[in-house]
Structure 1
Amino acid sequence: MSKETIENIASQVTLPELLKRMTDLGGSDLHLTTNSAPQVRVHGHLRPLDGFAPMTPADTKRLAYSVLTDAQKHRFEENLELDFSFGLKGMSRFRANLFNQKGAVGAVFRAIPYEIKTFEALGLPPVVSDLCNKPRGLILVTGPTGSGKSTTLAAMIDKINSERHDHILTIEDPIEFLHNHKSCVVNQREVAADTHSFASALRTALRQDPDIVLVGEMRDLETIEMALRIAETGHLTFATLHTNSAYSTINRIIDVFPASQQAQVRTQLSLVLEGIMCQALLPKSSGDGRCMALEILVPNSAIRNLIREDKIHQIYSMMQTGQDKFGMQTFNQSLATLVHKKQITIEAAMQRTSNADELKELLERGSGLNQSYGGGPKPGMPANGHASPYAQGRPIGQRPPAR
């Protein structure tokens, strides 16, 4: 194929055609930027699409603008960046971010399946189902960008939508997964389209008679404060944060507030927190896709006291020993379980852990892992719940540093 032909393809291809190429490859994201061919992320790695020359500023602008409304074009040109979502019939929904770089338009499009995945497909443990049955409180799903937080939350909301008779209110930027009315009434509000901000939507949320409220992201003090208040007034509240562990999530929430308010916030959080799920996606050992590693904190009375007393650094050791009775697990325990199930390689686990010595010890003591992944006695653990001899030693690994 000649250079001229390749350049003509780049100037004539449509965005739906590029998105179709991405989904056919099993990709998650499409990247459009100048001086580069279109690139797709497949199983976590970027690769250029074959047969395309580097795009010009005119190419990227034409492709990005092709799915914008006039109002969205105006917002983008005024703010120089834009978040939005859209659907292509018979293909998928997509979340998009447009931005400017070096004076030209760039864009990233992420695929969002129309079909919401089940707990079984995601490998979520039974304790997550228990969290969905909570009548009230705050449940946080955290992790880095691209770790599947939206997918996990969609599965949890869909379960509630199928089993309860409540009003679900979501506030998102943008709306990603679409929830039809099942057993519940579901209202989904998009920032900039249906409301001005997370904070303004949350200020009026209680007047809309919700039972369950989903906050797409707790970005600032006011949003966090409102989410805590909604949970405190007897509503089941879901939210996300970009944190990598349960204890760092608690610290992040508290540290957002001025020192004069932190004692009050610790008390609030100790009362309303019902669960923290910190997740990451790792490449499967088979090379076919990725699987989820998941840290889970389910507060008991002792953990609630530690939050209230500002002893957050002591929570980790309770999570290490809270797997059987409460369904808790540390990120390293999850990694070790995935290695022993041969779902990921030891090398992949070691690249993701923040405490390699602890993970090595867990892998060497494989009998100490909960192979059922979230509840039920460990192999060698009697039904009466008393630990077998291998569990009588010191706690595994080091605690996180004190604040």
Structure 2
Amino acid sequence: MSYEMNELLELVLEEGASDLHIQVGKPPTLRLHGSMVSVDGPDLTPADTERLMQSIAADSYVQAAKTEGGADFGFAYMDKSRFRVSVLRAKGSYGLVLRQIPNEFFDLEDIGIPDQIRDLLYRPRGLVLVTGPTGSGKSTTLASMINYINQKRSGHIITIEDPIEYYHDHKKCLITQREVGDDVPTFSEAIRRAMRQDPDVILVGEMRDLETIEAAISAAETGHLVFGTLHTNSAAKTVDRIVDAFPANMKEMIRTQLATSLVAVVSQVLCKKEGGGRVAGLEVMVTTTSIAALIRDNKTYRINSDIQTGAKLGMFTMDTHLMSLYNRGLISAREAFEKAQAPDDMRTRLENLGGKVAAS
């Protein structure tokens, strides 16, 4: 039998898989609720994977995969769903990973974003960061925030992405979506150009280098609400990562800029839900006068204790939220322990409640 891409994509939609992996030497494999499940059928050959890749990749991406070893792009499967596609070369053959991008936006309440964070989305300026490891749902949270603004505020939103994942329609806002490598050469260049395009809100898909981070902070300081992502797992580490990106002679200046421009950090991980599915574990930090002083004075190690006492402002630590998910029966004790930032403390708390942390 030979595999057809349309049939595989239909299977992804039917099963509710988050990803489809196509690699030589194994049947097509779905990621279902965090676990890898192979399709019944023969192993893929190099000819199979190349044919499947060419069935969805434009000539320019096929060429990039051949000459540069990989290519990333967005792909729409009819009007049913969009996928983020990564083509890669491995051992001389082609492989693909397709991540499904849901058509529907989530309500912020469904994700677990507190009301206080929703209030921040009306701010005229500042930097809001959504952080977490790859595959933790950052893009979904950001898209939902942008959709909320689009429904509630009037203005001009510019998104800068690589590739464009969620497509937004004009609602109360005018939306301009630009793809790096297609519409504009780099993230930092896109932010600089955006400043001349009368934006109210700018989404920076990835703050991956010093130039982009600098441009994003500058945009937030000069009267724009800027959203960005980083691959960090807590508010304190997010601040450290940004500061560490700069040379020694600029660190103090960046701390001062961050202290005045950073509005909030939402860190997240995806947890396996009891009974199937996924649920986000969250940490929320809202910048207060006290936290701004900690950033300025290079005392980020004390941010966590401010988050713990900031419940009235909608703040909570990752471990507090994981504990809440466990108490509500949404995740297992083992999952809470594995995703915890202070695993030893979490183990004690769980075991005191009769939770089984060890793998059975």
- Match for residue 161 of structure 2 among 146, 164, 172: 172
- Cα RMSD between the aligned structures? 1.4
**1:358 equivalenced with 2:345 (yes/no):** yes
Shift of 1:205: 1.0
**1:305 equivalenced with 2:293 (yes/no):** yes
Q: Which position in structure 2 is the counterpart of 1:291?
A: 279
Report percent identity of matched pairs.
46
Q: Which position in structure 1 is the counterpart of 2:32?
A: 42
The correspondence of residues 1-400 of structure 1 with structure 2, limited to 5 A, is 9=1, 11=2, 13-50=3-40, 52-285=41-274, 287-323=275-311, 325-360=312-347
SS at match of 2:223: coil
Q: What amino acid is aligned across from residue 5 of structure 2 in structure 1?
A: L
Q: What amino acid is aligned across from residue 218 of structure 2 in structure 1?
A: R
- Equivalent residues of 1:211, 1:236 under 8 A apart: yes
> Which whole-Å CA distance do the structure 2 matches of 1:198 and 1:270 have between them?
23
User: Any unmatched runs of 5+ in structure 1?
Assistant: 1-8, 367-403
SS at match of 1:208: coil
- Equivalent residues of 1:333, 1:359 under 8 A apart: no
Point out the structure with max Rg over C-alpha: 1
> Which whole-Å CA distance do the structure 2 matches of 1:281 and 1:356 have between them?
17
SS at match of 2:26: coil
TM-score normalised to structure 2 length: 0.95
Shift of 1:69: 1.6
SS at match of 2:170: coil
Distance 1:365 1:236, change over 3 A: farther
> Which whole-Å CA distance do the structure 2 matches of 1:209 and 1:78 have between them?
38
Shift of 1:70: 2.0
SS at match of 1:207: coil
Shift of 1:17: 1.3
Q: What amino acid is aligned across from residue 321 of structure 1 in structure 2?
A: T
Distance 1:346 1:151, change over 3 A: same
Q: What amino acid is aligned across from residue 134 of structure 1 in structure 2?
A: R
> Which whole-Å CA distance do the structure 2 matches of 1:23 and 1:124 have between them?
27
In the alignment of these two chains, the number of paired residues is 353
- Equivalent residues of 1:83, 1:97 under 8 A apart: yes
- Equivalent residues of 1:20, 1:91 under 8 A apart: no
User: Any unmatched runs of 5+ in structure 2?
Assistant: 354-360
Could you list the per-position Cα deviations for residues 69-120 of structure 1 after superposition, in whole angstroms to 9, with x for gaps in the alignment? 2222233323221110011124210000001000001110000111112223
Shift of 1:362: 5.3
> Which whole-Å CA distance do the structure 2 matches of 1:342 and 1:130 have between them?
29
Shift of 1:361: 5.8
> Which whole-Å CA distance do the structure 1 matches of 2:75 and 2:343 have between them?
42
Greater mean alpha carbon deviation, residues 264-273 or residues 130-139? 130-139
Q: What amino acid is aligned across from residue 201 of structure 2 in structure 1?
A: I
> Which whole-Å CA distance do the structure 2 matches of 1:124 and 1:24 have between them?
28
> Which whole-Å CA distance do the structure 1 matches of 2:153 and 2:197 have between them?
18
Shift of 1:283: 1.1
> Which whole-Å CA distance do the structure 2 matches of 1:120 and 1:252 have between them?
29
Q: Which position in structure 1 is the counterpart of 2:358?
A: none
> Which whole-Å CA distance do the structure 2 matches of 1:196 and 1:321 have between them?
43
Could you list the per-position Cα deviations for residues 24-80 of structure 1 after superposition, in whole angstroms to 9, with x for gaps in the alignment? 111000001111110000000111011x21111110011011112222223332322
Could you list the per-position Cα deviations for residues 259-279 of structure 1 after superposition, in whole angstroms to 9, with x for gaps in the alignment? 110000000000000000000
Could you list the per-position Cα deviations for residues 286-326 of structure 1 after superposition, in whole angstroms to 9, with x for gaps in the alignment? x2201111001101001100100111111111111111x21
> Which whole-Å CA distance do the structure 2 matches of 1:123 and 1:321 have between them?
19
Shift of 1:130: 1.7
Q: What amino acid is aligned across from residue 34 of structure 1 in structure 2?
A: V
> Which whole-Å CA distance do the structure 2 matches of 1:171 and 1:209 have between them?
15
Q: Which position in structure 2 is the counterpart of 1:395?
A: none
Q: What amino acid is aligned across from residue 70 of structure 1 in structure 2?
A: D
Shift of 1:360: 4.7
Shift of 1:364: 8.0
Q: What amino acid is aligned across from residue 39 of structure 2 in structure 1?
A: L
Could you list the per-position Cα deviations for residues 147-182 of structure 1 after superposition, in whole angstroms to 9, with x for gaps in the alignment? 100110011000000011110000000000000000
- Equivalent residues of 2:318, 2:341 under 8 A apart: no
Q: What amino acid is aligned across from residue 15 of structure 2 in structure 1?
A: L
- Equivalent residues of 2:65, 2:89 under 8 A apart: no
- Equivalent residues of 2:74, 2:84 under 8 A apart: yes
